[in-house]
A and B are shown apart, each in its own frame.
Chain A
Amino acid sequence: MRSSKLLLQALGLFSASGAFAAELDLIEARKIEYTSMTPSWSVVGSLSPTYTENALFSRDDRRRDFFYEPDVSLRLDGNLTPDLTYRIFARTQYDAFATEHLGNAAIARLGARLTQNLYGWRITGQYENRYDFDGIYRDLAFTSNDVMGSVGRDFQFGNVTLSPLMLLTYRFSDLPEARRWRFDALLGIEVKLDPKWSVVSTPFIEAFWFTDGLNSGRQDLIYSASLGLKYNIARNVSLTTNVIYEARTSNVALRHYTDLMIGPRLDFAF
């Protein structure tokens, strides 16, 4: 009788510890987050007709015009580890002016980047091989190799999203005048009014230090701010109407200018 009691107690202990272990396993299993290692293709871009008050960025010769600017990327995105992502991309963009055809230009880019997620911050290193054209892919003006590093993150406060980004670039180029350091600091602000509508704004500072050729020693600063209303057509398509004010100061007085741009932009990701 005593032995059967002991046996029952021992069995109870084993069953209890078994149940406890099963409980632990389930908790551990739930903590594991699945990350797909399969790379995915996407086409991301923006289309916009824009009105500008200074089509040729001139201090004295201000010419008003409309321009059309498509900006389309083909991307291959993937994960190397859950926190380390890569992107290989081809991107093209051009400006087509209605009357000031001297302002027409195009860029084609090929590049790759690595992004490490560290405590919610995205730390990115990027290389870009680019081709700048006069006119819309008419004459190759210069080719460059851009090396960039950036830090950014998204902060969510209720219906407000703040996306600060800092970016440092050096441009190596076959045109000495194009070689320069560039530092960008911007803050993307989005205030959701309802699931479809948002107010958006981007205060933006750009600093340039040109290193070679006729631009050697030139230093520019561009301050700009935009204010717009965004309508989410779908989760991957949105329409934003923006007003952008931009002012450039420089240690080369001729390079000062101000500009006001107004226009809708259709953004898409497929």
Chain B
Amino acid sequence: MKQFITVAGAAILFLGTASAVTAQSRDSVERGTRMDTDALRDDVRTNRLQVPRHPLAVEEPVKPVPSSKESTKRKKRSGSHQ
């Protein structure tokens, strides 16, 4: 009888500990889910922000392209001088 009580007690203790561990693991799943949702909401807002140009970033040269009207005018002007 004593042996049975000891074994039953140990089994109950083991099951209790095991369920506490699994409950804790599942709770971390719950907490992670909430943070994932918040992260998606954060993405929606931060996607609308504009990252400023960094002072150290190497700027690629941008060649100004004259518009066709301006060039035509210039041609006309240069033509009238001749």
Q: Which A positions have Cβ atoms within 8 angstroms of B?
A: 19, 22-23, 26-27, 29-30, 34, 36, 38, 40-42, 44-46, 57, 69, 71, 91, 93-95, 102-103, 105, 107, 132-134, 141-142, 161, 163, 165, 167, 175, 177-178, 182, 184, 186, 188, 190, 200, 202, 204, 206, 208, 214-215, 222, 224, 226, 230, 235-238, 240, 244, 246, 265, 267-270
Contact = CB atoms under 8 A, between A and B. Distances in A.
A235 B52 contact: yes
Nearest to B62: A34
Given A23-B68, A270-B52, A44 B24 contact: no
Interface string B27-47: 111111111111111101111
A34 B64 CA distance: 11
B35 A40 contact: no
B25 interface: yes
B44 A224 contact: no
Contact of A44 (B26, B40, B51): B51
B42 A71 contact: yes
9 nearest A-B pairs in the assembled complex, by CB-CB distance: A141-B28, A105-B31, A269-B49, A188-B44, A46-B42, A235-B50, A42-B51, A269-B51, A26-B68
B2 interface: no
29 contacts: A22-B71, A26-B68, A27-B68, A29-B65, A30-B67, A34-B62, A36-B60, A42-B51, A46-B45, A69-B38, A94-B35, A95-B35, A105-B35, A132-B31, A132-B32, A134-B24, A141-B25, A167-B40, A182-B36, A188-B44, A190-B48, A202-B44, A206-B37, A224-B37, A230-B45, A238-B45, A244-B41, A265-B45, A268-B46
Contacts of B46: 44-46, 267-269
A42 B38 CA distance: 20
Interface of B: 22, 24-42, 44-52, 54, 57-58, 60, 62, 65-68, 71-72, 75
Contacts of A134: 24, 28
A264 to B, nearest CB: 12
Contact of A202 (B41, B65, B68, B71): B41
A95 B42 contact: no
A95 B34 contact: yes
